Each structure stands twice: as structure tokens, then as C-alpha cells.
Structure 1
Amino acid sequence: MGAFITSPFRFLPVSTLQQEIRRRRTFAIIAHPDAGKTTLTEKLLWFGGAIQMAGAVRARKANRHATSDWMEMEKQRGISVTSSVMQFPYRNEGGDYIVNLLDTPGHEDFSEDTYRTLTAVDSAVMVIDSVNGVEAQTIKLLNVCRLRSTPILTFINKLDREGRAPIELLDEIESVLQIQCAPMTWPIGMGKSFKGVYHLVNDTVQLFDPNADSEKGATAGLIQGLDNPELDRVLGSQAEELRIDIELVRGASHTFDKEAFLAGKQCPVYFGSAVNNFGVQSLLDALVDQSPEPLARPTETREVKPMEEKFTGFVFKIQANMDPKHRDRIAFVRVCSGRFERGMKLLQVSTGKTVAINNAITFMAQDRNTTEEAFAGDIIGVPNHGTIRLGDAFTEGETLKFTGIPSFAPEFFRRARLNNPLRLKQLQKGLQQLAEEGATQMFRPLASNDLVLGAVGILQFDVVAHRLEHEYGVDAIFEPHECSTARWLRGKQEDIDKLIDKAGHNVALDGAGDYVYLAPSQVNLRLTQERFPDIQFMETREIV
């Protein structure tokens, strides 16, 4: 336990603190590439009043870009390669909420950054393409959520296209992802015959009009009651088909069980068309009404509960150069307990130093505002001048280390080489910053002066090269490296020294100064493990 810092800030009344925390909802959107995740993000922001016009994705011909895709490379490629954070207020019949939306990378090469983002949320929306169903990245991301029992809501997208039968999609989700589905809405037709959705809970049909103003949700009206004659007049033969479908659905599907949902065992399912803004508000209402308020977070010594009066938070992401004009680095901090106030003096646990946080910010993609206060569940950005690392904890004095923020062993390796050797200092600085924010991993072999990069996907090297050129003025070439896989070394120093003595040409230091074995092949790794049984060769490293 550290010595608690005396703060000049007065605590809020407990009732006010609890009220503020309970209205927070913090979630991520996860999906396979091209499932419509970024479009859905834009429409959620529009409903929350955070942007004036939903449809920047749709209006690319006017040289607009999705609000959450702010990095230059993302704009060029149309993919999300960083995790954006966006906060907006939302009000419905259930109350007033503050929503923190984390838009995660959809490309398969960025699963590590996505995983770290998922450590900062309390629930997630899984977007499924109705045409393609469950895809590879969806499986990976759901498995990551399952490790933490994260509650999942599912949005089956693109009902305005000819896709697979809804019941087939639910069966696939249940069988492949091993999670119960509880349909909350049910589609009426699809593609050209898509007429809307039926809300199973409130017995209401929401009609779809592709010609309606999608800014208002492309809704042509509501019809109350499945047996309402108006339904037959509007839908014709599709009305009777809907009644048969709903009878089958009610008999064969799971009914919504909030306890199972909060335990990560069941996902409520909503159908819609994000590009037409249809079904999105129902999803947002479900998010704020059903998803959990801020949850407790584990540390090495105890569980931190959100309603505790004293502030705690941890760094789950570091982003360099959010604004290229300022060459800045921002540490993304998940507030885990209590209240943050501008000017607070906090203990940075990793350094043991007390720092005054005067310029914390909240985000709307690249737009930022200085924040006066924040509560458990919120995400704040803290300017970082190179002293803040992934996994760092900030507290009002208590020495805590939050757990569950891993770094994965990379699967691909490259050696960095310069076209202009005089830019070596800039290369080292750029790679160090990119490694600190988790965009890549950097290794320094003990036996050479090489700079070896590791990544979980090939595209990460393209991103690093692009950012080195445009943000640091470095023209670097990444050459193949003979390394096949990497393992962090855990054991007594004397045992590690023996390994270095025998195979030091394969040992490196990572960015945190930990020993790593860079194996040229799986066979070499297995033989080395057999020769040094007292050393653990770890596939993941806990970031603390």
C-alpha cells in the first residue's frame, strides 16, 4: 500500500457519485472486416447527437470519411487499424446516459490492439453480415470476449440485401460461437422484399421504407399487434408468413434472460440495415437499457469496484500522433473507480511519482476536448511525453497493478533497414513510440545491432512503414528475418544466463527490457525448451 495522496478535491456525495457511474455504458463494436461496423458506429453517433450527419461512409464521393477512421492510412484504405474512442450522451424512456463507444480495428491483422481495447469495456456489439454469416475474425473476437465473460449484443446487418435465412444465421451463431441467441427483433423479408422488423418484446412491427430519409431511420411507421388487420393491408401475403415465422421463433428460440446475458452466455439479437439507419436505434436502446453499468476490475491484490470514492484507472492504449501537427502521444485511460477532476494529483504506480493531470481530454475520434471531470466507465486521454506505458495504473496513492492486459507472441518478423543511415535516430525514436502504443513489437538481439519488429499480422508492417514515413520522415525497408516465433523467458537469472551463453544469438530484449527467445523454427524452439527445462517459454507477456 502506498501513502495516500492528500487531494484538495472534495468527494461528491455518495448518492451523486453512484448516480453518475450508473448512467455510464462503455462498449466496443467488433466485427469481421466489411460487416458494416464503421457504418453502424456512425449511425449510433448520429442518434446520440454526436455528429450532425450520419453517413460519412456513404458520402465518400464528397471526400468525407467515417468519423472513427481518422488516421490517414485508414482514410486511404477504408479499414480501421486503430481503436477510436467516442463519447456521447443519449436519452430514452429509461433515463439519461453517457455512452462511451470504442470502435475497434476490424482487420484481422490488428487483433492484439482489439484485445487490449476489450479489456476497457463492459459489453460489446457483435456485427454479423447477413450475407456472409459468421466469419473468421468474428470467431476470434468472440473467443476474446468469452475469456472475460463480456456481455454481447448481436446486430445482424445488411437486411436490405439478399442474404441467408435468419433462422440459419441464428443456428450458425449458436453452433460456431457456442453462445445462445435470443432474438429481440425478427426481419420481414430481405433484399428487395425487406419490409421491416417485428419486435418480439413489445409486439410491434416497424416498417422499412428504402425511400424514406435514412437520417430518421428509414422507418415508414409502426403497427401495433401481430394480429392487426392493418398488417395484412400493408404487407399482403408477407403478413401471414410473418405470423408463422414468429410462432416458430417463439417455440424454438431462447427467450431473453438478462442474467445469462450479463454472464456472457446469451446474446440478444437485433436485425437491421446500418447503411439505411434502420434498426440502429433499437440496438442503442438495448445497449443502454440492458448492458451493464461499469464493472469491477481485477488487480494483483484486490478487486477495484467502480463505486469506490477514490479514483483509479489503467492505460489500455497509447496512440502517437493523433494530431500530426503536434507530434503528440496520448495514453487512453479507463477510469475504474471514483471520479476524476481536472488538476488532480495522481500516483503513477509504475514510476512511483505523483503527477498533476491538468490536460486530460475526452474524444470524438480526432476531435478532443479538455475534460473537467470523468467517472468510472469513462475513457480519458492523458498527454504522454514518453513516461506512460501500456498497463500503467493511476491511483490516489494505492499501489495497484491491474491484470489481464497481455502482449501476444508475434507471428511475423522483419528487420528494419534504412535507405538513409543518417536517419537512424529518427528510426529508433519512431519504432520506440510505435512499440509503446502497441502498433508493433520491437526486439533488440543481444548479438547484433539489428532492430527486429514483430507483429501478429503482415499488414502491421505496412502501417508501421507508412507512419514512419509520414509522421517521422523515415524511409525504412523491412526485410524478412529468420525468426519463426518468439517466446518470453521466465526463470532464474542464472538459468537465463546459461541459455544466453549457449544460444545468445537467438536471445533479444523487448521494449520493456524483458528477455525473449527468437526461435528460427518450431523444431529449434522445442529442442531449446528440452535443453533448458527450468526456463518457461511464454507465448504471452502480462503488461504490468
Structure 2
Amino acid sequence: MRTTSRTLNLGILAHVDAGKTSLTERLLYAAGVIDEIGSVDAGSTRTDTLELERRRGITIKTAVANFPLGSGTSAVSVNLVDTPGHPDFIAEVERVLGVLDGAVLVVSAVEGVQPQSRVLMRTLKRLGIPTLLFINKADRRGADDGRVLREIERRLAVPVIPMGRIVGGVGTAEARAVPFAPEDTTFTQRLLDALSLRDDTLLGAYVTDARSVTYERLRAALAAQTRAGQVHPVYVGSAITGTGIAELIEGVREFLPAGRGDAEGPLSGRVFKVERGASGEKIAYVRLFSGELGVRERVPVAGREGRVTDLAVFDRGAVERRRSVGAGQIAMLRGLADVRIGDEIGREPDDRPYQHVFAPPSLETVVVPADRADKGALHLALTQLAEQDPLIGLRQDPEGQDLSVSLYGEVQKEVLATTLAEEYGLVVAFRESTPICVERVTGTGAAYEILDHDGNPFLATVGLRVEPGPVGGGVVFRREVELGSLPLGYMRAVEETVHTTLRQGLYGWQVPDCVVTMTHSGFCSIRSTAGAFRGLTPLVLMTALHRAGTVVHEPMHRFRLEFPQDAYAAVSPALARRRALADPPVALGDAYVVEGHVPADQVHGLEAELPELTGGEGVLETAFDHHRPATAARTRRRIDHNPLHREEYLLHAHRRV
């Protein structure tokens, strides 16, 4: 007999300081899971468990808490996933999106729609994740739910349906959320107008017999379209006072779909978080899409195999050890020593392929220990942190001189420094952030090396041709040699080495978009090994790449800057100093809006000087957009054994043998 779980994996997403963690606390309190509401300012919230999170009052790591919703046959177990709001930690959000059934996007009634709000909403829409919106902080001075609702409609550019309003003193502790009632003809007409745009049957029924379109039918249509990601109900209230929370909870219950996983289907899950326990063991957070998983079972993990030694689920605000976990649930697994974020448990889910939905980090910095004797300990610490956040992108040159990490922004430096000091006892400093560039192939180049010919010390024949590929197309490997001309293991060795080698091009940067074709192959049936093909491929590939040529491209961010018109004389030269490519200003009331592109390494400096330039009234939003040819020479120190220099590379190869 096939069974289905009734679990809703619900993400809480927001821009920084929108009150997202406070909303999580209020939801847990309203469900009876906690007896007292924690405070972000006091550092007593349930989901901000890191000391650094409590001290800074921001969410840095994803956290999960559970509460029950409803009763009887309609009961749903909600796994509430609290995510970071600061854009520097967008990688944490990305990993969560692939395991959610629905989301609540929180917007502050004071600050309104922020750049991060737009990034998150665009992504939720693109992934088709059913989403409710909650306008929070209606009790705070400066709150204006009407203004923010208009901002949501204009700046988020998605169909929204307001479900209530604030009465009794918006911006004060007396602010009270009142839901729109079925008797409110303005509300029902708004519902009908919005829903009938996407439902011809509903529109036809209204035209034929308006009385047949009852309020219950409208609510059912609203639920269907919300679950399909076509419309987004908007609630308003305050996580601090609790007003509007009951209506939001009812909206979650009615409009967001619980995940229905087949417990008797093939095992399929995904790791979205990895942390280390008190004794240093890895703990993997897994969303199970189908099948069932038990303690002591051996399971396939991304082509490898591991044994689950311990298993726990989230239950009513606590973590409870279980013997097994079913489809639809989130579990914490121990025992998988080699597990990494993004790994598939069992087979990949058919409807949820893993993908990067946000741009990768565009900056990097060198981490320098205060005590040079700590370099080994620093490498170990950064390696463990990279397990928890693969986009740290740890790099070390062969001589072990420099350790560099990738960044989304400068706040990550502060967090990383504090983490290294408090968890590992390491004091570090950072060099100036520099952009992470890429190399694009400009022409076509080919090279080959023949088995047993002079100068080729490897028992292998490899020929490769390199040519440009479409932007965003990645590295494509093709074969012009006959399929049976080379054992499959040797062919795979060449293909895998091609991808590895192209992480560093002629100038040390990744070559992301090109086509590599294998043109020659040969082997000795007695003496050749896959290792010989792995050793020869970098030499051939880099020779071909040198003949094709590459151009270094630097990352560019698209920006939108809104500021008072009288500040234009100060803002314009600042944009020029930052090498921004700006469009002409557009008047928006008494303000100007300027859009354009700016190099990634200039964004932080522009943010820092903007308050002084605009009297504190400038609003800047940026996001990675594209790469352009670098305006200055940019090279990166290699961390391989330099196949561009044959003698150096072969010397290392002989030493290794």
C-alpha cells in the first residue's frame, strides 16, 4: 500500500531587518511549540543558534523548526526553514529553495520593498514556488501598509491580492490587522477580476450567471492559482504584537501545498545543509522526496555509498531521534563522512533538478593568519567551513603561500573572521577584495600528442580542439574519434580532466563556455592506464587553448540608484570614478533614478560613499549581470602544476610517479 506524508516544508525569506526571524518565533508561539517568544535583540530566538547570529542580530545559517498545523485528517506538519536575509549569505537561501513546498516572503511596512526582496521574488517566481507575502512591522513608527502594497505591485511585478488591512493606528502598538470579509464587495470584486484573468471557466460562469460564482468558489480558485504560483495573497500585521498572524497561518494552511511524497517509491533526497556536531562528525540535512530511509541502512550518495548511523527529525520545536524517515520530511543524518551540500541521496528527483539559481560570488580575498605558524590550522579550518558553504571556493597555490576564498560581499569577511576566532582560535586578516574574472575563448586551436613519439612521456595518444561556446553553455565535450577506439575508462579520464583543467585558463581564471572536441586517441593495451590520459590531457588542452587564445572578462553588476535630484552633481562624478556605465537619469517625482552597470569590485566603495553623496537618501540595488572584457590586465596565480610550462609540468609528473 502506498502512503503519502502530510508535511509542508515552508521557507521564510526576506530582506535584512524585515523581521523574518521574529515572525518565525511568533509562528512557533502561536502553534504552542514555545512558551515564550524569543527576541532578536536579546539573542534568545529559537532558530538563530550561533553565538555570532545572536550578537549581530542577523541570520547567517539556515535553521529548521517544526510546528503542527490543523488537526484530524487535514493536519499538516510544517517544517519552518528560516533563511538569511543579508545578500552576502544568498548561497544559504539558494540551497534551501530546491527543497521547499512553499514560501512566505516578508517585507517591512517601514522600509518597504528592498533590492533583496526583488531578487528573491524573481527567483521564487522562476522556480514556480507558491508564495504568500507578509507586510511586517505594522506597529513600527513610519509604517505604511498602503504605500508598501503599492510598492509590491509596482516593483515586484507579480499579481498580488491583498487579504486585509491595518486599522486603529498604523505605526503604533495599537495597529490591528483586519481581514477582508466575504461581505466586502470591493474585495470580492477584486478577487474575481484577478482570478478570472487566468481562469476562463470562472470568467464564463460569471458572465453566464454571476450568482454561481460564490465566495467559496472564489476561495477555491484563489487556492488553486496560489499553489500554481500564479497569484500571491498579501497579508499584513506585526510579528512583535501578533496582529495578523492568525490570518497568515490560515493562509499557509489553505493556500500552500503540503509535499506529497511516495514512501514506497525509489529513494530520492537532497542534502541542503551540512554542519559539524560537537565531536566533529558531519550532520547532513536532507529533504526526502520519495522512498523511506532508516538507521543502519547503506545508501547511495552522489555515486558513492554511505551508512546512516543516526537519524533525527524536527518535531514540535524539538529534534527527535527516529528509526526511519519518510518521503516529504526533512531529516538530520549522521554517518555520511564524505557527504557534501547538493548531494543526491538515492536518485535525483525527476521534477527538481539541482541548479544554481543565483549568480556565483564575484569577489575573492586572501586570508592571512596573524601567526604564520597557523597556516596549516587555517587551511584545515577553511576546508571544514567550505564543506558547510561550497561557494567559499577555497584555493591554495602549490607552494602553500596564499589561501583565498570567494565572497559575495564585505560582511562575509567579518563573519568569517569571527567564526575562525571563536570556533578555531585563529586570528586572521584579509587582503583587499578583488574580482573573480573568467576567460573566454576567442578563436579555434588544436593540438595532439602521439604515443611513443619524441617528447611524449605518457603511454597515451590525445588530440583536442578548443573553440568558443555560447555564453552560459558551459564546457561541452565532444568526440570525433570512433567510440570503440578507446576504452570507456580512458575516455572518461580525458573528459573529466578537461573539465578540471579548464578551471584555470591562460591567465589563471576559469574558462566557463567553450567546446572541446577529442580528435585523436590511442593506447597500448598492455601498458596504458587511465592515469596516463589524466597526465597527458592538460598538456594537450593548454597548448590548444594557447593557440585559440582567451580574453579575460571581469564581473559587472547591474545597478539601480535612486537619489534626490539635487544630489546629481555629486553622484555623477562618483559613478565615473567607479567606472560605471550609467544610463541618463530618469525623473521620478523629486528624485532621479539612474540605471547601468558597474564593476563588481567597485560596488562596496560606491555603497560606502553613497550616504554622504545623497544626504542619506540614496537607495542602491545591485546584482551580478554579466562579464565584460577587463579594462586592465588581470592575472591570477595558478594552483596547479602549470601545464603551460612543459618542463615544469613534466618534472612534477615524474616526481609524482
Q: Call closer, same or farther: CA 1:201–1:71 in 2, change over 3 Å.
A: same
CA deviation digits over 1:176-230, x for unaligned, max 9? 1121112222322413485533333556xxxxxxxxxxxxxxxxxxxxxxxxxxx
Partner of 2:39: 56
The superposition leaves residues 312-357 of structure 1 with CA deviations (integer Å, 9 ceiling, x where unpaired) of 211112224xx5x433432111111133333333222331x2x332
Q: CA deviation at 1:249?
A: 4.3
Instruction: State the match for 2:8 in structure 1.
Output: 25
Contact preservation (8 Å) 1:159, 1:194: no
Structure 1 segment 158-177 matched on structure 2, within 5 A: 158-163=137-142, 165-177=144-156
Q: Equivalent residue for 1:490? A: 475
Q: 1:178 to 1:310 in 2, by over 3 A?
A: same
Gaps of 5+ in 2: 196-218, 440-471, 478-494, 513-533, 542-549, 557-598, 600-626, 631-657
1:136-193 deviations in Å (ceiling 9; x for gaps): 1111111121121111111111222354554433232122112111222232241348
CA contact (8 A) 1:507 1:518 kept: no
Supply the AA of the counterpart residue of 1:126.
L
Shift of 1:404: 2.6
Give 3-state SS (helix, strand or coil) of 1:110's partner: helix
Pick from 407, 411, 421 the counterpart of residue 455 of structure 1.
Answer: 407
| Alignment pair present for 1:271 and 2:236 | yes
In structure 2, the partner of 1:312 is: 268
Count, aligned residues = 445
CA distance in 1, matches of 2:245, 2:274: 30
- Paired position in structure 2 for 1:113: 92
- Which residue is 1:536 aligned to? none
> CA deviation digits over 1:468-497, x for unaligned, max 9?
222222222221254443579725569889
Q: How does 1:459-538 map to 2 (within 5 A)?
A: 459-480=411-432, 482-486=434-438, 490-492=475-477, 503-506=506-509, 521=554, 526=628
Letter of the 1:191 partner, please give it: G
The structure with higher relative contact order (CA 8 Å, sep 6+) is 1
**Which of 369, 384, 387 pairs up with 1:433?**
384
Contact 1:416–1:479 (8 Å) recurs in 2: yes
3-state SS in 1 of match to 2:21: helix
Contact 2:143–2:171 at 8 Å: present in 1 too? no
SS for the counterpart of 2:75 is: strand
Match of 2:57 in 1: 78
Q: Deviations over 1:347-379 (max 9, x none)?
A: 22331x2x3323122348996432333222211
Q: CA deviation at 1:387?
A: 0.2
C-alpha distance in 2 between matches for 1:377 and 1:497: 36
Query: How many Å separate the matches in 1 of 2:390 and 2:51?
Result: 15
TM-score (norm 1): 0.72
Amino acid at match of 1:462: E
Asked whether the 8 Å contact 1:125–1:152 carries over to 2, the reply is yes
Q: 2:171 aligns with which of 191, 205, 211?
A: 191
**What is the root-mean-square deviation of aligned Cα atoms in Å?**
3.6
Q: Which residues of 2 match residues 113-512 of structure 1 at below 5 A?
A: 113-163=92-142, 165-189=144-168, 190-192=170-172, 194=174, 196-201=176-181, 248-252=186-190, 254=194, 257-294=222-259, 306=262, 308-320=264-276, 323=277, 325-351=278-304, 353=305, 355-363=306-314, 368-383=319-334, 386-395=337-346, 403-406=353-356, 408-438=359-389, 440-444=391-395, 449=400, 450-480=402-432, 482-486=434-438, 490-492=475-477, 503-506=506-509
Question: How far apart are the structure 2 equivalents of 1:332 and 1:197?
Answer: 36
* Residue 121 of structure 1, CA deviation: 0.6
Task: Measure how far apart 1:250 and its partner are.
Answer: 4.3
Partner of 2:18: 35
CA distance in 1, matches of 2:504, 2:53: 45
Deviation, 1:281, is: 2.4
Aligned residues of 2:308 and 2:333 also touching (Cα < 8 A): yes
Q: In 1, are the aligned partners of 2:13 and 2:85 still within 8 Å (CA)?
A: yes
Q: 1:485 to 1:247 in 2, by over 3 A?
A: farther
Contact 2:395 2:404 in 1 (8 A): yes
Contact 1:419 1:475 in 2 (8 A): yes
Q: Which residue is equivalent to 1:241? A: none
**Aligned equivalents of 1:272, 1:496: Cα separation in 2:** 51
Q: How far apart in 2 are the matches of 1:344 and 1:436?
A: 23
Distance 1:188 1:167 in 2: 11
Change (3 A) 1:384 1:455: farther
Mapped to 1, the partners of 2:376 and 2:315 lie a distance apart of 33
CA 176–123 in structure 1, closer or farther in 2 if over 3 Å, else same? same
Q: Secondary structure at the match of 1:88?
A: strand
Q: Is the 8 A contact 1:416 1:452 kept in 2?
A: yes
Contact 2:178/2:244 (<8 A) preserved:
no
- Between 122-131 and 411-420, the greater mean CA deviation after superposition: 411-420
Secondary structure in 1 matching 2:506: helix
Contact 2:28 2:34 in 1 (8 A): yes
1:394-439 Cα shifts (integer Å, max 9, x gaps) = 12xx577962332742122101222223222221121112112116
> TM-score, normalised to structure 2's length?
0.61
Distance 1:365 1:439 in 2: 31
**Letter of the 1:198 counterpart:** V
Change in Cα spacing, 1:443 to 1:491, as seen in structure 2 (3 Å) is farther
**Residue ranges of structure 1 left out of the alignment (5+ in a row):** 1-12, 204-245, 296-304, 529-544
CA distance in 2, matches of 1:436, 1:478: 21
Contact 1:391 1:405 in 2 (8 A): no
Partner SS, residue 66 of structure 2: strand
Larger Rg: 2
Separation in 2, partners of 1:159, 1:146:
26
Q: Is the 8 A contact 1:319 1:330 kept in 2?
A: yes
